[in-house]
Every structure is written in structure tokens, then in C-alpha cells.
Chains A and B, each alone.
Chain A
């Protein structure tokens, strides 16, 4: 019963959303070249299925690669900010300033720096756009660790590394996974930004672009839905990791 509900409720919500979309398009009597409706999508998927598989995979692996870089670098920055006041004071303005820059403006910069390295540029953008939440949350998690937790091990002569491994790291995991859920969707935005903007791109973003060039609205919307689907898949991947490594933080429902 509980499991049924777990799947039925989100699926029902998605179905409701699609019906609403279909209904609005139908009620306004919008033609295909103004707004596609869900019923136009299956035809687009059938027609371009091999492309969807190929481009979808392109987008997915580059997003995951960028995200992996963001996890490593973000955790490292977060540790520096969590353990050192000086690092915190020095890095915060830089990070916030960098994060405030619309990443679209960086696409031409990267494109000139690494001409022709489409895969590399895409991964780099996914990384640049998604490391910030991880760095901030790990930093806050570490710097707000109650001193008693540290004292219990410090009074036994434990090294800083031991204290980090046994207490600080596991205690920060819930915050880390919270940030990772935000970063997953951000990384997708980064990947697609490069795929759409750069000429001769690859991935779902490029497929969207070709749909736009050809005025194929059902294809464009089919790409959007495919992106949303990949986003959801990756998000639940993070949720599964969170359950495994930080499941203890979940309180039993009342």
C-alpha cells in the first residue's frame, strides 16, 4: 500500500500535468507551430528515437562528469572554508561574485579558450555552474559542528584527520546531499547551455537547436521532456545515494 502510493502519487501528478497542458493547448486552439501538445510528442519520439538515445547519452555522461568534478572541488573548497576562518573570509566574496555571473556569458569565453573541445567545454560548464551549492553547504556543515563533538575525540588525543573522518564528514553528509540535489539540476542547465549555444554542438541541447532551426515544435518539446526525464532520473539517483549514506538523518514520519 505504502509502495503503491509512493509511485502512484508522483505518476498521477505527472499525468495530471500532461492533461492540463493538452487541455490548455486544445482550449486555445493553438496550432503546432505556436505550442506543441503532449499528444504530438510520441510521433516525434518515434521519428527521432535513435537520435534521442545518442544525444541523451551525450548529455547524460557530460552532466555526470561535470557533477563529479563539482563534488570533488566543491567538497575541497567547503573543507577549506569550514576549517579556516581566513579561507572563509577570502573565498566567500569570490565565490558569490563568480556565482552571480550569468553562465551564458562564459560560453564564448570557454569556446575561445578551448576551441573545438566541445566535450571538455560542456563538462567544464556543468562543473562551473554546480559546485557552488556543494562548497557552501559543506563549509557551513563543518563550521557549525558543535565543539563538544570535537572535544570528545580531541580529549583522547585524536588527530584532526581522525576527527574529520569519524565525526565531521558523516555529520555533514545530510547537508552535502541536500546541496547535491540542487547541483544535479544546475549541472543539466550548464550542459545544455553549451550544447544549445555553441555551433555544431552535440547532445539534447543540439537536438533542440535543430528542432528550432527546422521549426519542428513537437521535436523541441520532446527534447524538453527528455531533459526533464533525465533530470528526474539523476535526482532519484542522488536520493538513493543519500538513503544509503545518510539515511540516519531521516526522521521517522509522525
Chain B
């Protein structure tokens, strides 16, 4: 079976004044179509570099990134991105913010159709009635919901998320996990989620990849054999507790090898 995302032997270093700073070393990640891949690792290990590589925003020194059987050399229209900072445009309403990718990807699409598509998503994430508000009128959690809608409004093959829930409080974060789960049921997409929350990685992921400390390489891959319609309660089962335990141990190993993080 062909993987939707195939990262093969990717090595990358940033050029700094103090010489090259290696961030990724022989990284291999494979994500089948429709799967949700959660990537965890110590802070500063190169996770964000990974998102930029998959999005085609930069090229690795060596190794290859494949999407849909095509080598990624430049940005593609079939990618959606969400960040820790929702980066909504303050001068646009929520509805107009969600429409933004369609203006780039499908400029010929009638406005009414764009808006209908955006409204459909806003309703799914519980933002119906807020479409004409501006971002500053919304709470942090609501802004992040809008940002998620914008990331998938053009039905991308791949959704890339870089710690999208990292700045939210715990309860809001759990709400958004469930929103994410429900969105996936209705809008199938392949997803790479960068996170440092192990519970999040298990709740959302079909597989969890632990990266080693910098330079990051694939240290451990866990298949999450849980039902797709999992609820928050599942996080309190012994089964999940064991998984979290294993992941925690892996993180400890990853940190130890770096030596800089305790």
C-alpha cells in the first residue's frame, strides 16, 4: 500500500553563525491515507522543521518527502496548516477568514459556494452564529476552532498541525480534541500533529511517533489500537495508562540522549 506521506531518510541542518546546527537525522515517517500521525519529542528537537518540510516550505539537505506518490519540491495546494498561534486576520470576519484558502486555491468558485462551505465547517465546530464576529471578539479556543476550519476548508489531503492546542487551558484543549475527532469522522483527511502532550497524542493519533533529541530521528513508533470513536473516558483506562507510561519512558530516553534537557 502506498503511503500518503512518506518521509525517507531526511537529514537537515540549519546554517548558523556557530556552524551547522543539525536538527533532523535520517528521519523516516510513513503515514497511510486517512491516518492520524501524532509526533511527540523533547522541545527544540526539530518538530516544527518537520511540518515545514511536509508543507513544502523548505527542502531537506538530504532525503525525500513524498506526498501522494509525488516528490515534494515546493508548496502544494493540497495542504492545510494550523499553528499554536491561530494567526487569524484581524481585519476579516471569522467567515472571511475561513474562506481565505479558497480564494487562493479556487479563485473561480462563486462566493456563495465558498461561504456555504465555510459555514458548513463553522457549524461542525460549534461556531455557527459567530461567523460575522471579528477574531478579537472570540475566545482563544474559539479562535483556534476557526483556524482549524480555515486549515481544512479547501479539503486538503494533508492537515499539518504544529502544537495547535498548546496555548489553550486543559478543558478547552479536551473540547478541541473531541472536535478534531468529530471533524475527522465527517471530513476524512490525513493528519500530522506535532504536540508535546502525550494524552493528546494517544487520544487523537492512529500512530504516535517519538522523536529523539536533536538531531531528531525516529526513535519509537506506537500503533494506537483504539476505536475511532474514542471518548475522553478512554484516557483513564489501564490500557491507555500503559501506553502513556511507555511513551513517557521514551521521552525520558529522548531527553537523556540530548543531555541539554532535564
Where the two chains meet, the residues of A that have a C-beta atom closer than 8 Å to any C-beta of B are 146, 148-149, 151-158, 162, 166-167, 170-171, 173, 246, 248-249, 251
Contacts and interface: CB of A to CB of B under 8 A. Distances in A.
Given A148-B83, A170-B89, A156 B57 contact: no
Given A153-B104, A156-B101, A157-B74, A148 B79 contact: no
Given A151-B55, A151-B57, A151-B81, A249 B90 contact: yes
Interface string B105-139: 10000000000000000000000000000101000
Nearest to A162: B104
Contacts of B160: 155
23 contacts: A146-B85, A149-B89, A151-B81, A152-B87, A152-B100, A152-B101, A153-B104, A154-B75, A155-B55, A155-B56, A156-B105, A157-B74, A157-B75, A157-B76, A157-B77, A166-B89, A166-B100, A166-B103, A167-B89, A170-B89, A170-B91, A248-B91, A251-B136
Contacts of B105: 156
Interface string B39-80: 000000000000010011100000000000000001111011
Contacts of B91: 170-171, 173, 246, 248-249
Interface size class of B (residues with CB under 8 A): 20 to 34
Contacts of A152: 81, 87, 100-101, 150
Say what secondary structure dominates the interface of chain A. helix
B89 A155 contact: no
B100 A155 contact: no
A248 B104 contact: no
Contacts of B81: 151-152, 155
B85 A157 contact: no
Contact of B57 (A149, A154, A246): A154
A162 B136 CA distance: 24
Contacts of B104: 153, 156-158, 162
B77 A148 contact: no
A151 B51 CA distance: 11
A126 to B, nearest CB: 30
Nearest to B52: A151
A251 B137 CA distance: 10
A248 B134 CA distance: 8
Contacts of A151: 52, 55, 57, 81, 83
Contacts of B134: 248
A156 B136 contact: no
Given A162-B104, A166-B103, A248-B134, A155 B87 contact: no
Contacts of A171: 89-91
A114 B218 CA distance: 71
A151 B104 CA distance: 13
A206 B36 CA distance: 75
Nearest to B74: A157
Given A162-B104, A166-B100, A249-B90, A155 B85 contact: no
Given A151-B57, A166-B103, A251-B136, A156 B90 contact: no
Contacts of B154: 156
Nearest to A156: B104
Contacts of A246: 91
Nearest to A245: B91
A155 B160 CA distance: 10
